């Protein structure tokens, strides 16, 4: 459907005939508005890691209980925000799979919806800081109800002016059914929150329970669907095919929007790193005069490990994006399970500034460097292993979800495997090495961060060598599809002349 939108937009911006403009008057392609919403939501989801990394721990101050509590509070707010924003984003994706075009009123309603979503992190901060006061949970419920009302207004408006709907639904005889379906989807959470808000006034522990239900509801229903799918065969699809024009609530997510949301997370994470460098690593003019007798180079030399940590962290974020990009180039459609795994991966990617801060703190607090290296390795491992899991899950239904090149036996299969397995292996190796050689943990970690980018550059060569080695070992290996790979130069000769 998203591709359809893009094509429509291309027609929109090209179509100059006045008749065409007349019909389109006031309605617009939703493409750019969705891109803006994706950027906004991905940044909100991730930016709450900043208070975590900016928690000031002065060297003389011990890592005491109050600091621990503050850190735990902020990490909890980050995780809850990330989770709830992804839930809101999924609902938003569903909603605009039904609403195909927008007009000014819908654009303004969407902005109102975004504004309400941005308030959710604040309610979490209140909840976590004052766990015994029901006001936080009450405000959270009010926010969710407000979001639900705005989304219900969007649904109502779009069904009132059906030319705004997705053409499939516009033509459907089951349009009323679709409306009821999508309204149910949009108002399910707010209805539970209304109950929670009422309970928060006299028995708030129950409100917390209801809130957890609201947050995890979509994920739980996804998991059960997956289990059913797995153990009872694909019973779902035919049931849905019976109603070809009604909205399919179990349809795959729009691949374009999954990509846009992920890009936003990677981009903001890469940028938060330089913010820390600029704020923390510019020496004070007085210090330079007193400690380094005016030599700025010497003063900067003291920050050496932190610059190394910056390069390493940026390379990690960049290469994880690269692996994600390579994978999604070969993904045909993203199922709900793949979407969930992607979100889990992104949550750990969002934690990378924490890994950076941990490793850049080496110079200041060398006594607990082993723990810091291990935390960093664990964050990188989980971010990359969930990426690997996306591919594994996609392989289960490979004909539907993947391009032929990366399916079992495809030309790019081994290469994709190597790309996605590189970071999990490297971080696991580094973790294991710190257990054996705990005195050299810093050196090991830096070695890993520097060597992995080079491994990526040489990956195609390495994979070929490994496959050739396997071939020699087995001796009787049959003709392997990997040999079909031709050099780029040969490719360009194969290309039909486009001129």
Under rule CB under 8 A, residue 461 binds a copy of itself: no
Q: Which of 390, 394, 354 is nearest to 372 (CA)?
A: 354
Identified binder of a copy of itself from the candidate list 35, 252, 305, 481, rule CB under 8 A: 35
Please give the structure tokens belonging to residue 4.
Answer: 């359809």
Q: Indicate the residue among 168 and 336 with the shorter CB distance to a copy of itself.
A: 168
Phi-psi region of 457 (alpha: psi -120 to 50; beta: other; left: phi over 0): alpha
Q: Which of residues 14-33 bind a copy of itself (CB under 8 A)?
A: 14, 16, 18, 21-23, 25-28, 32-33
Task: Kindly state whether residue 154 participates in binding a copy of itself, applying the rule CB under 8 A.
Answer: no
- Which is nearer to a copy of itself, 180 or 460 (by Cβ)? 460
Residue placing its CB nearer to a copy of itself in the complex, 50 or 187: 50
What is the distance between the alpha carbons of residues 478 and 373, in angstroms, rounded to a whole number? 44
User: Hey, what are 207's tokens?
Assistant: 């409100």
Is residue 221 within the footprint of a copy of itself (CB under 8 A)?
no
Residue 201 beta carbon to a copy of itself: minimum distance, rounded to whole angstroms: 13
Q: How far is the CB of 391 from a copy of itself (least distance, A)?
A: 17
User: Cα–Cα distance between 401 and 393 in angstroms, integer?
Assistant: 9
Q: Name the one range near a copy of itself by CB under 8 A: 119-127, 348-356, 357-365, 420-428.
A: 119-127
**Long-range CB contacts (within 8 A, 24+) of 115-121:** 116/143, 116/146, 116/147, 116/150, 117/41, 117/44, 117/85, 117/88, 117/143, 117/147, 118/40, 118/44, 119/143, 120/81, 120/84, 120/85, 120/88, 120/144, 121/44, 121/48, 121/77, 121/81
The CA distance from 462 to 468, in Å, is: 10
Instruction: Answer whether 235's CB lies under 8 Å from 228's CB.
Output: yes
- 13 is a contact residue toward a copy of itself (CB under 8 A): yes
Least distance CB 318 / a copy of itself (angstroms):
4
Instruction: Identify the bridge partners of residue 99 per DSSP, sorted by sequence position.
Output: 165
Q: What minimum distance in Å lies between the beta carbon of 453 and a copy of itself? A: 8
The answer to whether 346 touches 382, Cβ cutoff 8 Å, is no
Looking at the Cβ atoms of 51 and 225, the one nearer to a copy of itself is 51
Question: Smallest distance, Å, CB 212 to a copy of itself?
Answer: 21
Which residues, 121 to 140, sit near a copy of itself by CB under 8 A? 121-122, 125-126, 129-130, 133, 135
Q: Which residues pair with 283 in a beta bridge?
A: none
Q: Which is nearer to a copy of itself, 185 or 258 (CB)?
A: 258
Is 174 a residue that touches a copy of itself (CB under 8 A)? no
Pick the closest to residue 176 from 155, 202, 153 (CA basis). Answer: 155
Instruction: Decide if residue 483 touches a copy of itself (CB under 8 A).
Output: no
Does 252 participate in binding a copy of itself (rule CB under 8 A)?
no
Please select the residue that binds a copy of itself; options are 457, 461, 473, 476, rule is CB under 8 A.
457
| Part of the chain binding a copy of itself (CB under 8 A), chosen from 91-99, 252-260, 349-357, 362-370 | 252-260
Strands 101-102 and 28-29: antiparallel
State both tokens at 137.
Answer: 């949970």
Residue recorded with tokens 């975004």: 114
By CB under 8 A, the residues from 352 to 371 that bind a copy of itself are none
Binding to a copy of itself (CB under 8 A) within 54-73 occurs at 54
Q: Which is nearer to a copy of itself, 35 or 305 (CB)?
A: 35
Binders in 407-426 for a copy of itself, by CB under 8 A: 411
User: From CA 48, how far away is CA 85, in angstroms rounded?
Assistant: 11
Report the alpha-carbon distance of residue 389 to residue 401 in Å, rounded.
14
Q: CB of 431: closest distance to a copy of itself in angstroms?
A: 25
Nearer to a copy of itself, 357 or 441 (CB): 357
Query: For residues 244 and 285, which CB has a smaller minimum distance to a copy of itself in the complex?
Result: 285
Report the residue from 77, 186, 389, 448 that binds a copy of itself according to the rule CB under 8 A.
77
Question: Closer to a copy of itself at the Cβ: 226 or 311?
Answer: 311
Binding marks (x or -) toward a copy of itself, 309..338, rule CB under 8 A? --x--xx--xx-xx--xx-xx--x------
Among 59, 233, 238, 496, binds a copy of itself (CB under 8 A): 496
Q: Which of residues 258-277 bind a copy of itself (CB under 8 A)?
A: 259-260, 263-264, 266-268, 270-275, 277
Q: What minimum distance in Å lies between the beta carbon of 270 and a copy of itself? A: 6
Residue 467 C-beta: closest distance to a copy of itself, Å = 17
Task: For the CB of residue 114, give the shortest distance to a copy of itself in the complex, in Å.
Answer: 7
Q: Mask 372-401, x = binds a copy of itself (CB under 8 A)? A: ------------------------------
Please list every residue from 276 through 305 that binds a copy of itself, using CB under 8 A.
277-279, 281-283, 285, 288, 296-297, 300
Alpha-carbon 124 to chain mean position: 20
**What number of other Cβ atoms are within 10 A of residue 343's Cβ?**
23
């Amino acid at each position: 459907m998203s591709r359809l939108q893009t094509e429509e937009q291309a027609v929109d911006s090209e179509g100059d005939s006045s008749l065409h403009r007349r019909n389109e008057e006031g309605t617009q392609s939703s493409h750019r508005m969705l891109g803006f919403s994706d950027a906004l939501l991905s940044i909100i989801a991730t930016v709450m890691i900043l208070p975590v990394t900016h928690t000031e721990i002065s060297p003389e101050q011990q890592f005491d209980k109050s600091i621990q509590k503050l850190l735990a509070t902020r990490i909890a707010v980050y995780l809850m925000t990330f989770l709830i924003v992804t839930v809101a984003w999924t609902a938003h994706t569903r909603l605009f799979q039904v609403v195909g075009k927008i007009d000014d009123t819908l654009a303004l309603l969407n902005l109102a919806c975004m504004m309400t979503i941005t308030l959710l992190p604040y309610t979490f901060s209140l909840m976590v800081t004052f766990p015994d006061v029901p006001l936080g949970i009450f405000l959270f419920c009010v926010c969710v109800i407000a979001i639900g009302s705005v989304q219900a207004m969007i649904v109502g408006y779009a069904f009132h002016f059906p030319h705004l709907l997705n053409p499939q639904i516009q033509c459907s005889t089951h349009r009323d059914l679709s409306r009821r379906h999508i309204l149910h989807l949009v108002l399910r959470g707010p209805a539970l929150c209304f109950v929670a808000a009422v309970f928060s006034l006299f028995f708030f522990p129950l409100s917390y329970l209801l809130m957890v239900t609201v947050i995890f509801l979509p994920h739980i229903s996804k998991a059960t669907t997956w289990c059913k799918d797995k153990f009872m065969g694909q019973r779902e699809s035919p049931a849905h095919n019976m109603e070809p024009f009604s909205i399919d609530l179990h349809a795959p997510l729009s691949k374009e929007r999954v990509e846009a949301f992920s890009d936003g997370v990677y981009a903001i994470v890469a940028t938060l790193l330089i913010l820390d460098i600029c704020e923390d690593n510019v020496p004070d003019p007085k210090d330079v005069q007193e400690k380094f007798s005016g030599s700025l180079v010497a003063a900067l030399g003291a920050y050496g490990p932190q610059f190394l940590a910056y390069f390493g962290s940026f390379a990690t974020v960049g290469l994880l994006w690269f692996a994600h990009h390579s994978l999604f180039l070969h993904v045909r459609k993203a199922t709900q399970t793949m979407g969930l795994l992607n979100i889990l991966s992104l949550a750990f990617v969002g934690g990378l500034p924490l890994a950076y801060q941990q490793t850049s703190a080496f110079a200041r607090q060398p006594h607990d460097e082993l723990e810091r290296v291990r935390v960093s390795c664990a964050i990188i491992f989980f971010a990359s292993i969930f990426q690997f899991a996306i591919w594994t899950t996609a392989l289960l239904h490979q004909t539907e979800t993947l391009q032929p090149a990366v399916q079992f036996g495809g030309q790019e299969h081994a290469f994709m495997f190597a790309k996605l397995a590189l970071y999990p292996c490297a971080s696991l190796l580094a973790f294991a090495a710190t257990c054996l050689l705990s005195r050299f943990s810093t050196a090991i970690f830096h070695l890993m961060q520097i060597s992995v980018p080079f491994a990526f550059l040489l990956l195609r060569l390495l994979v070929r060598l490994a496959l050739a080695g396997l071939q020699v070992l087995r001796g009787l290996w049959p003709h392997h599809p990997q040999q079909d790979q031709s050099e780029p130069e040969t490719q360009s000769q194969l290309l039909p002349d486009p001129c």
